[in-house]
A and B are shown apart, each in its own frame.
Chain A
């Protein structure tokens, strides 16, 4: 482990200095998501932000 951050949705780990991560509220809890999951959740699945 060398400082890799884990996406709380897809559990993929990557370096936050290289890949963008987002903090957003999912299921009433603030979670850290990778950019892919963040956009899937926000745009594709729940365009209105209702998960």
Chain B
């Protein structure tokens, strides 16, 4: 490899590095904000990527009539900043905005996005599984015309079943006046269980938290939808002699009244009209109370998550290291209650206030139903305070949170001090015995002092007086010699 080859390879390496930095790192960063697809919701004040909806005209138009084939009321120029386009509240108004190429032409301008006021709710959605559907089923015994109402959490996947079939089986439509024309007379599926409407996660996510009214419209004896919404923004009847209502002449707030009036007029409609009220709420889990009872911690609260959702509770989740420890200390219950109110949950888990260490603690609740995953933490603290219930001040433990003192544990009961049991081992040293001997010459025999504890195997040989006398005799004779 000569010098020229090395230079070529070096330049290729630099070019690749440049490509990597520009196209792999920098370009996706342009689209890091919210990407708007056709018909998506965007909130005033947001910055979003409108590259997919801007069209070649580079402008968006708003029509106060809601009819995109007339002269626009407002036009906003994108000016090339389509990846980070600011939905300026001074330029944009709430409503449907369309692509605009400067010309008024029939069916030529398509919907770009819908601008709403307020802020985009911060919802964590994981693993949106189409199968994880909550079913609301209205029993057969429900009388016609009784109002259907329920609460849905945003992002929830809800299958609504109206099973009150009666004699009008077959065709049904859902009317929901939520700010757009999308749900004005949406057909409902029908099977042996009843009339179905699937509020997908995308649909419920697109709604702002609010209360929405609407109707279920069931076909009467003629098995036809006597009043329907026409794409030219009017309410029409199947009967040609009935004059349509041009909705362009009314504000959106009057649409519901106009539909109800027309659909319940017995002169030209025998449809069954059932009032509907849907409350869309942000997914939430709230703790209304927590307390210890018989060494059990009870956590109670409300949630907007659907019935049957699993709510798990763990105290001090960061305290547990392994997955098994976390699982062993997590307690799960199912959400119960009514469809038209916030649902209830009660979790109980073994815990003693007195055993909690001094400092900060967390109760973590996790609501998971496949479509939504909500994590709610509740922090509380424990501290020792001086207790004056006894003559001698002592410490007692207090549990408190951001709202103040939550509970005070009972002061510790003084327990009598018990001396530890000790075993005293006594070693008895055997005293050496001195046997007196009768001799003429005084001999002092030094007592034998044992240098170590005598072992049980030691044989004590008794001192025979006869042998002693014999030994002394030998010594005397030997010395005289």
Contacts and interface: CB of A to CB of B under 8 A. Distances in A.
Nearest to A2: B360
28 contacts: A3-B381, A3-B383, A5-B385, A5-B398, A5-B405, A6-B400, A8-B405, A11-B404, A16-B383, A16-B384, A17-B383, A20-B385, A20-B386, A21-B383, A21-B385, A21-B386, A21-B398, A22-B387, A22-B388, A23-B389, A24-B389, A25-B389, A30-B408, A31-B408, A32-B400, A32-B405, A38-B388, A42-B388
Contact of B405 (A3, A24, A31, A42): A31
A44 interface: no
Nearest to A35: B386
A23 B388 contact: yes
A5 B402 CA distance: 8
B466 interface: no
Given A1-B402, A5-B398, A6-B400, A32 B389 contact: no
B105 interface: no
B383 A5 contact: yes
Interface in A5-20: 5-6, 8, 11, 16-17, 20
Interface residues of B, number: 20
Interface in B53-73: none
A11 B96 CA distance: 51
B407 to A, nearest CB: 10
Interface in B398-442: 398, 400-402, 404-405, 408, 411
B396 interface: yes
Contacts of B405: 5-6, 8, 31-32
A8 B404 contact: yes
A43 to B, nearest CB: 12
B359 interface: yes
A1 B379 contact: yes
A6 B404 contact: yes
A2 to B, nearest CB: 8
A11 B387 CA distance: 19
Given A6-B400, A32-B398, A24 B381 contact: no
Interface residues of A, number: 19
Interface of B: 359-360, 379, 381, 383-389, 396, 398, 400-402, 404-405, 408, 411
A17 B398 CA distance: 13
A11 B384 CA distance: 18
Nearest to A8: B405
Most buried by B among A8, A17, A23: A23
B47 to A, nearest CB: 32
Contacts of A1: 379, 401-402
Given A20-B386, A23-B411, 20 more contacts: A1-B379, A1-B401, A3-B381, A5-B383, A5-B405, A6-B400, A8-B404, A11-B404, A16-B383, A16-B385, A21-B385, A22-B386, A23-B398, A25-B389, A30-B389, A31-B408, A32-B398, A32-B400, A32-B405, A42-B388
Contact of A22 (B359, B385, B401): B385
Contacts of B360: 3
Contacts of B389: 23-25, 30
Contacts of B401: 1
B404 A23 contact: no
A49 B388 CA distance: 11
Nearest to A42: B388
A42 B400 CA distance: 23
Nearest to B386: A22
A42 B393 CA distance: 14
Given A3-B359, A6-B405, A24 B383 contact: no
Contacts of B388: 22-24, 38, 42
A30 B387 CA distance: 10
A25 B359 CA distance: 24
A31 B389 CA distance: 11
Given A3-B359, A3-B360, A32 B402 contact: no
B300 to A, nearest CB: 22
Contacts of A22: 385-388
A32 B389 CA distance: 12
Contacts of A8: 404-405
A32 B401 CA distance: 13
